[in-house]
Amino acid sequence: MSADDADGAARRSANLPDSGSVPTGGKRPGTLRGVGVGPGDPELVTVKAARLIGAADVVAYYSARHGRSIARSIAEPYFRDGQRYEPLVYPVTTETTDHPGGYEAAITEFYDASAERLAGHLSAGRDVVVICAGDPMFYGSYMYLHERLAHRFPAEVVPGVTSISAATAVLGRPLVERDEVLTVLPGTLSPDELTRRLADTDAAAVLKLGRTFPQVRAAFADAGRLDDAWYVERATTRTGRELPLAEVDPDGVPYFSLAVLTSPTGAAVAAGVDAAPGTDTPTDKSDRAEAAVAVEAAVPTEAPTGGVTVVGLGPAGTRWLTPETSQALREAEHLVGYGPYVDRVPHRPGQHRHTSGNQVEIDRARHALELALGGARVAVVSSGDPGVFAMATAVLEAATSDQRFDAVPVRVLPGLTAAQAAASRIGAPLGHDFAVLSLSDRLKPWAVIEQRLAGAAAADLVLALYNPASASRRWQVEAARKVLLRHRAAGTPVVIARDVGRPGERITVVPLADLDPSDVDMRCLLIVGSSTTRADRRADGSTVVWTPRTYPG
């Protein structure tokens, strides 16, 4: 194979244009390469990156107006005499500018002009390397040059060690293990969005700190994750440092720093004791879980600090959990609840699960209090909100009926209710006064339910009806419909919300007179409108149900 053939094969394998393509003038074009030089230590530059930097005709790098470049300082050991250097100096480094088009226009002009500068070298047949701290395609500015030039010239991207990998390396902590989820976030997100995402994940890295640091730290605190987070600055460099995020002075935090939540599994193991020399390392998933439990059990405790926290999981997935609830679930040593609800909670190393059927609420509550009496941190889980037809009442009933539990702290954390979730899916049917009733007669007589239905209907309240039917309760929906029709028009909109937030979610709207009990089961919640509730058809074909906030009269 000739040298040209070998060169062509290599280019095809890298998805590069044929090296024989030539620009105007008949010269072979140069090759553009975006080269990651890693997080800071020149010894973490890859072998390929070092070779290409040394072979390049032109080395380009970004810098601020002061002229210093982190990427250049990392790559300088691999420069050679005779190379040309192209500093690409940002016109702005924050979103403040007097450019008539604002920040976006200013930075777009800069990337356009930078691309044309490099195109001049490439058209002249010079190979250009654009060096980038970290990885070129990971929040890197090289990508904007690649977008402008890769369709015109041969181009290649050479990955580099990211700041996230460097940070966890200097911390000596695993980033994620097994089925854990890693979330990478820019610190420029809104505080509310940062809080939501930090509360929902196992591990996280937040980059682009600098001036965003105060809001990032506040988001960690609001998500209940501040005590687990670490701060790493200029990882792998001589001036680098790492410390708990809560201890960082916000003054002087550089842009090239990040906040990290490492593996909760690794954190649990790190809190325990090291395996003795020669001890086998568990490899099976169940073995690892048992080892984590054993390590946690070996950690000495100062004194029993038990308590029961009753939490609401919301009607569906983790995206509807509050940050406070997520923190309570992470901190709990024991989870107690109805089996399908406990199964919604991600597994944590060392955390014990106690599941039971759906009709033993008081037994579950006593079990949770007994565990807390022995010094354990216990979370009792409910679907929706724990105070709405759920476990908070059962726990408080058990706690106040037995003097042994007088000293056990009990707190209740709210959750998104099924009524709120169902209403949001169809519009705003709960926009005015409404009542919440359960149609289950397992714990109260049907005569009481019928009386309350009639009273709420006569008062012209919107109704959210929980537990409308089950496998053994099939007649209540029809009975309720008849009661309501004494006070409501036949065309009153009724929302049937099934499996809200879960696979198979279905929201339907029917007139009260047409409500079919066979369409309703325990997985449904019903919302019955008042005299003012409207069901309107939108231009896109969707239906919205809403209750005006004003009332006639």
pLDDT in tens, 360-392: 889 999 999 999 999 999 999 998 999 999 999
94-99: long-range contacts, CB 8 A cutoff, minimum separation 24: 94/211
The pLDDT of residue 292 is above 60:
no
CATH of 3-160, one of 3.40.1010.10, 3.20.20.370, 3.40.50.920, 2.130.10.10: 3.40.1010.10
Q: What is the 3-state secondary structure (H, E, C) of 115-155?
A: HHHHHHHHHCCCCEEEEECECCCCCCCHHHHHHHHCCCCCE
Tell me which residue of 498, 506, 500 sits closest to 524, measured CA to CA. 498
Helix H or strand E encompassing 522 = none
Same fold, 164-267 and 418-546: yes
The pLDDT of residue 17 is above 70:
no
pLDDT band of residue 185 (cuts 50, 70, 90) is very high
What single-letter amino acid sits at 82? G
Average pLDDT, the chain: 86
What CATH superfamily is the domain 320-413?
Tetrapyrrole methylase, N-terminal domain (3.40.1010.10)
Residue 446 to residues 116, 438, 471, Cα–Cα distance (Å): 79, 10, 17
What CATH superfamily is the domain 418-546?
Tetrapyrrole methylase, C-terminal domain (3.30.950.10)
Q: Taking each helix axis from N to C terminus, what angle separates 142-149 and 102-123, rounded to the nearest 10 degrees?
A: 60
The pLDDT of residue 124 is above 50:
yes
Paired sense of beta strands 203-207 and 128-132, if any: unpaired
E strand map for 262-396: 307-312, 334-338, 352-356, 377-382
The pLDDT of residue 241 is above 60:
yes
326, two tokens: 């997520």
- Quick one: pLDDT at residue 96? 67
> What span, in angstroms and rounded, lies between the C-alpha atoms of 430 and 438?
17
- Quick one: pLDDT at residue 79? 97
The pLDDT of residue 279 is above 50:
no
407, two tokens: 């000293």
- Angular region, 406: left φ>0, alpha ψ -120 to 50, beta rest: alpha
Q: What is the per-residue pLDDT across 45-88, written as a single tens digit (0 to 9) for each?
A: 999 999 999 999 999 999 988 888 999 999 999 999 999 999 99
Do 187 and 207 meet the contact criterion of CB atoms below 8 Å apart? yes
318, two tokens: 């983790």
The pLDDT of residue 3 is above 80:
no
Do 205 and 184 meet the contact criterion of CB atoms below 8 Å apart? yes
What is the CB neighbour count within 10 angstroms for residue 140? 22
Rounded average pLDDT over 252-267: 86
The pLDDT of residue 189 is above 50:
yes
526, two tokens: 């019903």
The pLDDT of residue 155 is above 60:
yes
- Quick one: pLDDT at residue 164? 96
CATH of 164-267, one of 3.40.50.1100, 3.90.226.10, 3.30.950.10, 3.10.20.600: 3.30.950.10
Residue 213 to residues 64, 233, 299, Cα–Cα distance (Å): 20, 12, 33
Q: What is the per-residue pLDDT across 294-323, written as a single tens digit (0 to 9) for each?
A: 334 333 444 456 899 999 998 876 778 888
> What span, in angstroms and rounded, lies between the C-alpha atoms of 92 and 109?
11
Q: What is the per-residue pLDDT across 419-438, written as a single tens digit (0 to 9) for each?
A: 999 999 999 999 999 999 99
What is the CB neighbour count within 10 angstroms for residue 409? 12
Structural domain boundaries in the chain = 3-160, 164-267, 320-413, 418-546
The pLDDT of residue 411 is above 90:
yes
- Quick one: pLDDT at residue 267? 61
The pLDDT of residue 22 is above 90:
no
Choice among 194-203, 263-272, 425-434, 463-472 with the minimum mean pLDDT: 263-272
Choice among 5-19, 88-102, 363-377 with the minimum mean pLDDT: 5-19
Q: What is the 3-state secondary structure (H, E, C) of 282-303?
A: CCCHHHHHHHHHHHHHHCCCCC
Residues 6+ apart with CB under 8 A from 189: 197
- Quick one: pLDDT at residue 268? 54
- Quick one: pLDDT at residue 397? 95
Rounded average pLDDT over 455-470: 94
Radius of gyration of the chain measured on its C-alpha atoms: 31
- Quick one: pLDDT at residue 502? 83
Q: What is the per-residue pLDDT across 466-488, written as a single tens digit (0 to 9) for each?
A: 999 887 788 999 999 999 999 99
> What span, in angstroms and rounded, lies between the C-alpha atoms of 547 and 272?
56
In the 8-state DSSP scheme, what is residue 393?
H
The pLDDT of residue 248 is above 90:
yes
